[in-house]
Copies of this chain bind each other. A is one copy, B any other.
Amino acid sequence: MTKFIFLITTLFLSLSALFAEEGMYPLSELHTIDLQKAGFKISAADIFNQEAPSLSDAIVKLGGCTGSFISPQGLILTNHHCAFRAVQTASNAEHDYLKNGFMAAGREQEIEAKGYTVRITQSFKDVSAEVLKDLDAISDFAERNKTIKRRRKEITARAEKENPGMRAEVAEMFKGQTYVLFLYTYLKDVRLVYVPPISIGNFGGETDNWEWPRHTGDFSILRAYSAPDGSPAEYAADNVPYQPKKYLNVTPRGVDENDFVFLLGYPGRTYRHRTSYFTAYEEHVHMPFVADWYQWQIHLLEDLGKEDRATALRFSATIKSLANTEKNYRGKLRGLGRLQMVRKKRGQEAQIQAFLQKDEALQRRYGAVLNAIKNIYDEKTNSAERDYILSYLTRSVSALSFANTVYKAAEEREKEDLERESAFMNRNFERTKKRLFIRLQNFDLQADELILTELLRKAAQLPKGQRIKSMDRLFSLNNPERDWQKAIKQAYDDAKITQKDFLSKAFQQSFEQIQKTNDPFLQWIQALQPDIKALKEKNERQSGELSKLSAQWAEVKRLYEKNTFIPDANSTFRLTYGHIRGYAPADAVYNFPITTVAGILEKHTGQAPFNAPDKLRQLIKAKAFGFLQSATLHTMPVGILYDCDTTGGNSGSPVLNAKGELVGLNFDRAFGATINDFAWDESYSRSIGVDIRYILWLLQKYAGAGYLLDEMGIDHN
C-alpha cells in the first residue's frame, strides 16, 4: 500500500510539473498561450473581445481587489475582506453588520459601500514609444522620472478627453521599457447586498490567514448602480442596477481534485524580475521594518479595543489590514530565508556578468549596470530607518496625515492639473477627500497620540548623521530635558484638523491661507516640509535611475536567456491558469486541495476567531446539503486550493472552470506561497478560494436568501 500512495503522490507532482506554469498573463500576451493544450474549452475571443461581450466584461477592479458580475442586474461577487471597510463604515455598536452580517431584504435596503468604485477593462494599447521618446537626452535622474510621470498623465488626460465618462491609466509593464494605456468603464455607486457574519466571513481570523487547510467563507455580495440611462454616476437614490455587458455563469456543480481552473483579475504587485539587491533590501531592511512597525500598532489597537465594542469596531478594518500585511511579510521573510533567494539570484547574476565579460561590446554597454543598481540599494539601506520614520509620520499618524493632505492639496491645487501629484489632480481629488473623511470616521485620539509618541521615540534614537532635522527642532528631540509628551497632548487638545467641518473648509482654502492657519498639526507639517521634500526628491532621483538601469538589465537578461518574459503584476488585468491541486507542505504531510464542513466543527472552539454560528453548526450536523453536496466527497466542500499564479489584488477573483463558469472565489494564498511574489514554483505556489457550492449553500440554507440564487439563475427548489 505504501508504494501506491507514494507512487500516486509522485505522479501528482510530475503531472503538475507538466500542467502548471508561472504566469500572470496580461491581455496582450493571451495569444502566446496554447489555450486548448493548457486545458481551456473556450477561445481567446471568449476571454477578451473589443467587438463583442466577453468574460473580461464581467470582471471588475474593486479598490485593491477583484470582483465579478454574477447577474444581469449588476450583482458583484467579491471577498468578505474586500467589502470589510464598507461593512465596518456602515456599522455601529447598534447595527453591528460586521459581527452579525447584513442582508438586504430588497433593493431599497442595499447600503452604500462608501468610497467603493468599480472599473471594467475596455481596451489596451502600447504607448511605450510616446512615454520614452528622447529620454536619453535627460541626464538628471529626478528630471527623467518626472518626465515619464508627466507623459503618462498627458496620455491619460488625452484618452479621458477622447472617451468621455471612461477612466484611463498608463500602466508600467516593464520599468523604463513598456507602457500600456488602459481604458476602463468606471462606476461610482456600489452597494452592500449580502455580508455573512464575521464568524463565517473571517472564520479562523488572523490565525488561519495565509494558511491551508482553510474553512473561511470569505465572500460578500455587492451591486453596482448606474444612472437611469445606464451611464456611470455618483451614488443617488434614483440610480438603477447596472446592467453589465456580460455576467458569469455560476455553476452549482463545483470542482474536483485535478480539475483545470483559471482566474481573471487584477493582481497587485510582484517582484520576480528584480535583482538580488532589491531582494536583499526587502529581506533585510524594508519588510522587517514594516512588519515590526505594523505588529507594534496591532498590539496597541488590540489593547485599546479590549474594553469597548465601539472602539474595537472602529479599529477592526485597520487591524485586519495591518495584520494581513504583517503576516504576509513574515511568510515572505521565512520563504526568502529558506529558499536562499538572495544567494540564488546572486549566483544567476554572477553568471550573467560572466556572459557579458565574454563580449567586449556588451561588457562596455552593460557591465556597470548591476553595480549601479547595488549602489542605489546601498544608499537606500543607509538611510532606511530614518526615511521610514519620516514617511510613516504622515501615514500612521492620522492627525498628521490629515494635515499633510490638506497642506499638499492647497499647494498642489495651485499648479496646472497635469503638474500635480496624482492624488490632487481633478480626476482623483474627490476620491482623495472621500478616503480622508472615511479615515476621519475611525479617528481615535488616544491611539493617534500613542503612535505619534512611538515614532518620536524612534526618531530620538536615530544616530548622528541620520537625524531628521525638522523633527529634532520641532520636538526638541536632542534635548535630554525634552517634554514632547506635553507638547503632543497640547496639540491634540488644540487640534482642529480632526474636525470634519474644519477639514471641509480647509480643502477650499488657498495655499497662503493654509500656511497661516492656526492649527498645531498644520504648522508641524509646514515645519517638516524641508525634510519631506528632500526625501521626495531623493526618491524621484533613485526611481529615475532605477527606471533606466532596470530597463538595461532587462535587455541584458533577454540577451542572456534568449527569451521573453511576462511582466510583473501591476494591478492591471491578468489571466492565470492551473489545477485544483494538493501539496506536501512538509516531510510526511500531504494536504488535500478541498476542505469540507467537517473542518469547521473540528476548529470550532466557541471563541473568536473559531466561533462558527450555532445555526451553521446545526445545518452541518444535519447534513442538509441537498443538490449542492459534492458527488465525490459526499459532503459540503468549503475551501479549494489550486496552483494558479496569484498575488494580492487577486482577492475576489472568480475561479473559473475550463468552460469559463464560476466554481470558486479566490481570497488567499498558502503561507509558503507568499514568497511567490519573488519567485513562483509549482511545489509551493498555492492559492486558496471559497468553493462556490459553500457560498450558494450559505445563501440558500443559512441566510435564506434564495432570491439571490434566483437572480443568478440557479434552480434551487
Q: A interface vs B, CB < 8 Å?
A: 1-6, 8, 11-12, 212-213, 215, 256-258, 582, 586-596, 598-599, 602, 632-633, 639
Contact = CB atoms under 8 A, between A and B. Distances in A.
Contact of A213 (B256, B586, B599): B586
Majority SS at the chain A contact face: mixed
Across the A-B interface, the 4 shortest Cβ-Cβ residue pairs: A587-B599, A2-B257, A213-B588, A588-B592
Contacts of A11: 1
B598 A587 contact: yes
Contacts of A582: 588
Nearest to A606: B337
Choose among A6, A8, A592, A595 the residue with the greatest number of B CB atoms under 10 Å from its CB. A592
25 contacts: A1-B8, A1-B12, A1-B258, A2-B256, A2-B257, A2-B258, A2-B632, A3-B632, A4-B8, A6-B633, A213-B587, A213-B589, A582-B588, A586-B599, A587-B595, A587-B598, A587-B599, A588-B592, A588-B594, A588-B595, A588-B596, A588-B639, A589-B589, A589-B592, A590-B591
Contacts of A589: 213, 589-592
A122 to B, nearest CB: 39
A1 B586 CA distance: 22
Nearest to A255: B2
Nearest to A635: B587
A103 to B, nearest CB: 28
A214 to B, nearest CB: 9
Q: How many copies does the complex hold?
A: 2
A611 to B, nearest CB: 15
B215 A587 contact: yes
Contacts of A3: 632
A6 to B, nearest CB: 7
Given A1-B8, A6-B633, A8-B8, 6 more contacts: A3-B632, A213-B586, A586-B599, A587-B598, A587-B599, A588-B595
A154 to B, nearest CB: 52
A8 B639 CA distance: 22
Given A213-B587, A215-B587, A602-B586, A592 B5 contact: yes
A507 to B, nearest CB: 52
B587 A590 contact: no
Contacts of A212: 588
Nearest to A2: B257
Contacts of A257: 1-2, 5
A691 to B, nearest CB: 12
A588 B256 CA distance: 13
A331 to B, nearest CB: 15
Contacts of A632: 2-3, 6
A632 B589 CA distance: 17
Contacts of A594: 588
Contacts of A215: 587
A592 B591 CA distance: 11
Contacts of A599: 586-588
Contacts of A1: 8, 11-12, 257-258
A258 B257 CA distance: 26
A321 to B, nearest CB: 28
A659 to B, nearest CB: 19
A6 B5 CA distance: 11
A541 to B, nearest CB: 39
B5 A8 contact: yes
A236 B275 CA distance: 67
Contact of A590 (B6, B12, B258, B592): B592
A9 to B, nearest CB: 9
Contact of A587 (B6, B8, B596): B596
A686 to B, nearest CB: 12
Contacts of A598: 587
By CB atoms of chain B within 10 A, which of A5, A215, A586 has the most?
A5
Contacts of A592: 5, 588-590
Contacts of A6: 632-633
